[in-house]
Amino acid sequence: MKHDAAAAPETPSQSWKVTLPCTRAEAEALDGDIAAFALLDRPPVLMTSEVEEDNPEAWKLEAYFEGRPGPAALKLLKALVPSAARTRPQVEQLPDEDWVTMSQQGLEPVIAGRFHVRNLPDDPAPQGLKSYLIAAGRAFGTGQHETTSGCLAMLDRMHSVGMRFRNIADIGTGTGLLAFAAMHLWPRAYATASDIDPVSVDVTEKNAEVNGVPVGGGVGQIALFTSAGVDHPAIAMRSPYDLLIANILAGPLIELAPALCACLEEGGTIVLAGLLDEQADAVMAAYRAQGMRLAERIDNGHWPCLRLRKRPRIGWRRPLRLNPQARGEAPGFGSW
């Protein structure tokens, strides 16, 4: 992701934590909801916990930032916990450890559709569900955020109604979870996963090994690429796709609309997430302009997941391969 305009310039490795007291009611209201930070380029990870076992109303909010948070970010954070309006936030730089790993360790497993996602090996895997171990680490997409769980639910629903795909791409793959889920549902498909962040691609490869997902270029295998959007020759060569998944942010989703749709075959499906309720109309308008129509929407808190279908076009003008002029770059953006 690109740098947060509200943060002071820092090296990318610096991690900061902001702590504020809050009430139990405020903590419960924050469960999984970081909508206030969605427009920041580097939103924090929020964690709440009890302060004293014998005082059930005493809680605290901890926000983990990549880079030192500026005044605007602190103001947004305080707005989430009105009881701390007169309290000065405790701001501290963390040691040289991975801020995403620290903030996500011990997260509760998530169930979305037929999928169970855990981040600790000791968490039991329920019978009847497809379980993935996605350890807390250097990439987003452990399943806890509404955008990821909404995509899992959408994929499961698509399979349940009989939809079938043979060539799948997950753009902005993060941890690889959504690509893995799609491969489980359609095991005879070709699968492509890419991310602008090479760390995410490395994490995806490791997660594939842990979860028994074969890596490679053949049927039932996942091919991994580091790419800004779809700006990679191999991604173009593997097109057209009949299913594209993009769980990123509203800005890059709009910017990538022409290139993503150029990679999609006629009648193909795109699943979009990472956008807020108030951003959905703008995102859908960008894709309608490329010949897409909204087929289904799942609302998961403030975070909708959209399924769109490409309208067939008649005649020799229909595209079969990626338009070389549609580079599909969204510089500075990573995945959730």
Query: Where is the binding site, in residues?
Result: 148, 172, 195, 247
Q: Are 133 and 168 in contact (CB under 8 A)?
A: no
Binding residues for S-adenosyl-L-methionine: 148, 172, 195, 247
How far apart, in Å, are the Cα atoms of 313 and each of 239, 290, 291, 319?
17, 11, 9, 9
Q: Residue written as tokens 């308008």?
A: 285
* DSSP state, residue 234: H
DSSP 3-state of 238:
coil
Q: Residue written as tokens 């983990």?
A: 64
Q: Are 29 and 98 in contact (CB under 8 A)?
A: no
Instruction: Please state, in angstroms and rounded to a whole number, the distance separating the CA atoms of residues 312 and 291.
Output: 8
Q: Are 175 and 183 in contact (CB under 8 A)?
A: no
Q: Backbone phi, then psi, for 133, in 5-degree steps?
A: -100, 110
Indicate the residue type of 164.
Answer: R
Please, which residues have CB within 8 angstroms of residue 54's CB and are 6 or more apart in sequence? none
Please, which residues have CB within 8 angstroms of residue 29's CB and are 6 or more apart in sequence? none
The H or E element that residue 115 is part of is strand 115-118
Provide the pairing of β-strand 15-22 with 90-93. antiparallel
Instruction: Please state, in angstroms and rounded to a whole number, the distance separating the CA atoms of residues 211 and 169.
Output: 19
